[in-house]
Structure 1
Amino acid sequence: MNFFKKFLKKDNPIKSNADFWNWFIKNEKSFFKVIKEQGDVNRLFFIDLSKKLNELKSGYWFLAGMFDEDTAELILTADGDLKNIAFVEDLVEEAPQIKGWKITALKQESGFENQGIEIDDYKFSKDTLRFYSNDLNNYPDEIDITITHKSLSEDNRIDITNGIYLFLDNALGELNSVSIIDNLSVVNTSVATSDLVPIEKLKDFLIWREKEFIEKYDGLRHSTEKDSYSAFEASMESGLPLLAVVNTDLLQWDSKASHPWVAVLEMEYTGLSNNGMPDEETYNLLNIIEDEVLQELKDSKGYLNIGRQTADNTREIYFACTDFRKPSKVFYQIQTKYSGKLKVSFDIYKDKYWQSFDRFYRGK
């Protein structure tokens, strides 16, 4: 065992997916053995695995166990974080064939029939959960569902809600649970406002709604070449100025739901500003970065630049997208490239009707 630890310490830093898999191959027999024999998996596998994944990029999670008598399974997961799903998928896509191992991207669906979990004496299964759909007249394309649990109270709302999310994560699979449902609320069964539907019918309902959505919007694009842009000036509560430039034609588009993912790149330039605004050098750098992003995220490919906002030592750039994978990769590249000059972060979330940008409508 001392040799095993010594061997691991000599490994080079992980800088690419290939580096990670080369390291894994060197150690997979030891990893397989500890899983197979149900040994100290945390000390002999998980600690080192976590370290190597973090060297590659933060945000990787994992599960491991025996898939069958002769095969160990390693499940790499983003733990429901949209920003990291593309990286998990790419890492698994580049995994070599390793005898005795099954490498899986994201937690797969286990279905509703034989799936159930218990947390702090609360049970989550087809016997305890029901659902119904909410029709939103102003937002007809949104998939808004309510799930009921008879034990829900204000005291245990967080526990019950977390349990339901975990149940859906397992039953529907990680990707489906975070990408298809737009809004989810949880109520006690006694206050349901519509007929209750068995939870095991949820998958069929989501497939039907998603199919309708795709048929309605698939391939729809908007060219921004001739669009009009408006500049907005305002003051924050702190008194600092806020400047924004937004595509006002785009905000009036009647097919917003075709680009349901909002991607936000945030760049902080604290210490290099005047009254919260960038100085000339920083301003030029921010524009260079924005041009780089626009070269990668084109409207013809499904990535619409809504505009940007500058205030309080921060610039935000907004996109509405048909997919969340490429923006996460492009933004991460920017984050890595300019980490020594700016504090760069990003967020990606679903907003079919771009309600995030209501503040840019005149009069709002």
Structure 2
Amino acid sequence: MKKINTFWNWFQDNNQTIKNLINETPKNQKNISFWINKNLNYYCREIDFIIVFPKNDIGKTELIITANGNPKYFKQVITLVDNAPQLKSWKFTAFIQPTERINEIIAGLDTPYVFQEITLKISELKFKSLDFDENTKKWDIIIFLKNYTLQCNTKTLKQAVFIILQDLLGEKSLCQNINLIHLAQMPDNNTDMIYLYDLQMVIDTQNSK
């Protein structure tokens, strides 16, 4: 508990500086982020943070604590956030949450994800289930990418798809429900495939049986 209090005491003392991070120079942003990470590491080295800034001056700045999808550290994330202070201009969240832009995605109006030379839109991705393990309740799925000729599953491409799935399902659901992910090029005939944005619905349907 002492390490938790140490982090939150430091955060409270510096919360205005952190809240203004987006208006700082790149050099100062890097320095402030370094100290956030350093103080967080005093509590647990395996967890990370994401700061989401509000769209207007009256909105709250959100600090997301993430275990990077590693269930070994879910407890540490939950405990830290459960003991967060009440700060008027801050919102504290455990884990990366599922996107709230699902209707936008279904309509094909989603913003593309850009990773180096790779550009992907959730609305253009489809998937098939390869296997469902009754013991672990986890899925093996294959995700089909539009307009990509896959010579091999590159590390960057796998990381990109993982980030997209984490945004779509949320950190906990991805960890709890998905086992293996394979990538393939979208075939011309893909009418029997399911849009990726419907993956959580498929998971929920199975879990309700």
Q: CA deviation at 1:128?
A: 3.0
Task: Output aligned runs, 1:1-364, within 5 Å.
Answer: 15-35=2-22, 37-39=23-25, 40-43=28-31, 45-68=32-55, 69-70=57-58, 71-110=60-99, 111-112=101-102, 113=105, 114=110, 116-135=112-131, 142-150=138-146, 151-190=148-187, 195-212=192-209
State the Cα deviation string for residues 129-164 of structure 1 (Å, max 9, x = none): 111122469979542221111414134533322211
The residue type paired with residue 76 of structure 2 is F
RMSD: 2.8
The 8 Å contact of residues 96 and 171 in structure 2, kept in 1 or not, is answered as yes
State the Cα deviation string for residues 5-53 of structure 1 (Å, max 9, x = none): xxxxxxxxx9421221111111112222333x2443221x211111111
State the Cα deviation string for residues 72-93 of structure 1 (Å, max 9, x = none): 2211111112211211111011
Write the distance in 2 (CA, Å) between the matches of 1:107 and 1:138: 26
The structure where helix makes up a greater share of residues is 2
The 8 Å contact of residues 123 and 197 in structure 2, kept in 1 or not, is answered as no
State the Cα deviation string for residues 219-277 of structure 1 (Å, max 9, x = none): xxxxxxxxxxxxxxxxxxxxxxxxxxxxxxxxxxxxxxxxxxxxxxxxxxxxxxxxxxx
Pair member with larger Rg: 1
Q: CA deviation at 1:211?
A: 2.3
TM-score by length of 2: 0.81
Structure 1 stretch displaced more, 147-156 or 158-167: 147-156
Return structure 1 stretches of 4+ with deviation > 3 angstroms. Answer: 135-142, 191-194
Write the distance in 2 (CA, Å) between the matches of 1:209 and 1:56: 37
Structure 1 residues 136 and 171: CA distance shift in structure 2, 3 A: closer
The 8 Å contact of residues 147 and 185 in structure 1, kept in 2 or not, is answered as yes
Secondary structure of the equivalent of 1:64? strand
Structure 1 residues 161 and 208: CA distance shift in structure 2, 3 A: same
Q: CA deviation at 1:192?
A: 8.6
State the Cα deviation string for residues 156-215 of structure 1 (Å, max 9, x = none): 533322211111011111111111113322222239999211112111111112222xxx
The 8 Å contact of residues 129 and 142 in structure 2, kept in 1 or not, is answered as yes
Write the distance in 2 (CA, Å) between the matches of 1:184 and 1:156: 11
The residue type paired with residue 31 of structure 1 is I
Structure 1 residues 208 and 24: CA distance shift in structure 2, 3 A: same
Stretches of structure 1 that go unaligned for 5 or more consecutive residues are 1-13, 213-364
The residue type paired with residue 158 of structure 1 is K
The 8 Å contact of residues 132 and 194 in structure 1, kept in 2 or not, is answered as no
The residue type paired with residue 159 of structure 2 is N
**Which has the higher relative contact order, 1 or 2, with Cα contacts under 8 A spaced 6 or more apart?**
2
Secondary structure of the equivalent of 2:50? strand
Write the distance in 1 (CA, Å) between the matches of 2:170 and 2:142: 19
Structure 1 residues 142 and 23: CA distance shift in structure 2, 3 A: closer
Secondary structure of the equivalent of 1:190? coil
Stretches of structure 2 that go unaligned for 5 or more consecutive residues are none
Structure 1 residues 34 and 186: CA distance shift in structure 2, 3 A: closer
Structure 1 residues 128 and 153: CA distance shift in structure 2, 3 A: same
